[in-house]
């Protein structure tokens, strides 16, 4: 294993666990030098269900790799691998069995959403996270990756009542960032990110309002200056957007438009029902 990653572990299934809690749990095993992820695009952060933890060079990380130990936080079983194994596409990660759902109805019940997806397979866990910025996130874990494939292969749009759902698969590390060992880049700047308990999913405003804000600092492959330059480019030169970025923008705008459309439709139906009742009384 390359010396630059031999003391780094991958920790998955952490979407509902804040970074301070993660750091507090793993400090008992050795000195932590950094806790980070490799996503440089703010609009993708809601699809990230893992962190990398870099320990000091004198920490023995083999303690995390034994099958005799289940690491849990608040009854949540953590998915732990070495850095290199996490980037291997042959590795089965727990997030492979997860779908990520975004919607804009704060009153939508978690159990109703869960019930809407039970037809695709057995659901093990369903976690809700509120962004505080008008976007709600739901993370569903199935017992089989085939259930996730069925959800994603379905050509239909997903709705619960009048609420439209944006459904995507959780992203693997290899899908959003390069392995540092295979990339000729400048050395990382390892930073402790802001606690998710203090900035509860601050990426939500970027993901569903604007892509012009600078991405968070916990990035592997893009420096802060490069992030600022990219952000300015996105804000001033729409022609330079990649196809994937255009697709993301279309989905974000579509979600907002569908929300407004659903509300208008609801108000029209309500008005027509009222008029119908008045007409019946007049008759």
Which domains are seen in the chain, by residue range?
Answer: 8-92 (3.30.70.330), 97-171 (3.30.70.330), 244-282 (no CATH)
pLDDT of residue 60: 86
Of the pLDDT bands very low, low, confident and very high (cuts 50, 70, 90), residue 236 is very low
Sign (positive or negative) of CA dihedral 224, 226, 229, 233 = negative
- Is the pLDDT at 55 greater than 90? The verdict is yes
Q: Which residues contact 44 (CB under 8 A, 6 or more apart)?
A: 171, 176, 207
Give the closest residue to 21 by CA, choosing from 138, 11, 67: 11
pLDDT of residue 266: 66
- Is the pLDDT at 278 greater than 90? The verdict is no
Of the pLDDT bands very low, low, confident and very high (cuts 50, 70, 90), residue 197 is very low
- Higher-confidence residue of 2 and 61: namely 61
pTM, rounded to two decimals: 0.64
- Is the pLDDT at 233 greater than 50? The verdict is no
Q: Which residues contact 1 (CB under 8 A, 6 or more apart)?
A: 82, 84
Of the pLDDT bands very low, low, confident and very high (cuts 50, 70, 90), residue 157 is confident
pLDDT of residue 252: 55
Q: Which residues contact 52 (CB under 8 A, 6 or more apart)?
A: 8, 9, 10, 11, 34, 35, 36, 37, 38, 83, 86, 173
Q: Which of 98-112, 162-176, 182-196, 237-251 has the lowest mean pLDDT?
A: 182-196
pLDDT of residue 247: 59
- Higher-confidence residue of 176 and 196: namely 176
pLDDT of residue 21: 95
- Is the pLDDT at 139 greater than 60? The verdict is yes
Q: How far is CA 116 from CA 149, 212, 218, 241, in A?
A: 16, 34, 35, 35
- Is the pLDDT at 211 greater than 80? The verdict is no
- Higher-confidence residue of 171 and 245: namely 171
- Is the pLDDT at 81 greater than 70? The verdict is yes
For tokens 């369903």, the residue is: 126
Q: CA neighbours within 13 Å on the CB side: how many for 57?
A: 3
pLDDT of residue 17: 92
Judge contact between 120 and 142, C-beta under 8 A: yes
The average pLDDT across 171-197 equals 52
């Amino acid at each position: 294993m390359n010396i630059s990653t031999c003391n780094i572990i991958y920790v998955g299934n952490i979407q509902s666990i804040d970074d301070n809690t993660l750091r507090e749990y793993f400090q008992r095993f050795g000195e932590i030098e950094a806790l980070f992820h490799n996503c440089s695009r703010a609009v993708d952060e809601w699809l990230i269900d893992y962190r990398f933890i870099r320990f000091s060079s004198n920490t023995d990380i083999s303690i995390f790799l034994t099958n005799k130990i289940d690491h849990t936080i608040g009854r949540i079983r953590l998915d732990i691998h070495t850095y290199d194994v996490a980037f291997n596409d042959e590795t089965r990660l727990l997030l492979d069995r997860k779908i990520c759902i975004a919607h804009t109805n704060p009153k939508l019940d978690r159990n109703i959403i869960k019930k809407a997806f039970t037809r695709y397979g057995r659901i093990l866990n369903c976690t809700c996270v509120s962004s505080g910025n008008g976007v709600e996130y739901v993370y569903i874990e199935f017992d089989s990756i085939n259930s996730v494939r069925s959800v994603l292969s379905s050509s239909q749009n997903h709705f619960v009542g009048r609420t439209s759902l944006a459904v995507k698969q959780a992203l693997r590390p290899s899908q959003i960032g390069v392995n540092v060992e295979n990339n000729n880049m400048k050395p990382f700047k390892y930073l402790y990110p802001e606690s998710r308990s203090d900035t509860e999913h601050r990426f939500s405003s970027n993901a569903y309002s604007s892509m012009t804000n600078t991405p968070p600092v916990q990035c592997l492959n893009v420096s802060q200056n490069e992030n600022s330059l990219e952000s300015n480019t996105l804000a001033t030169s729409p022609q330079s957007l990649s196809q994937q970025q255009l697709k993301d923008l279309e989905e974000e705008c579509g979600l907002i438009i569908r929300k407004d459309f659903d509300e208008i439709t609801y108000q029209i139906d309500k008005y027509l029902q009222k008029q119908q009742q008045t007409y019946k009384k007049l008759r």
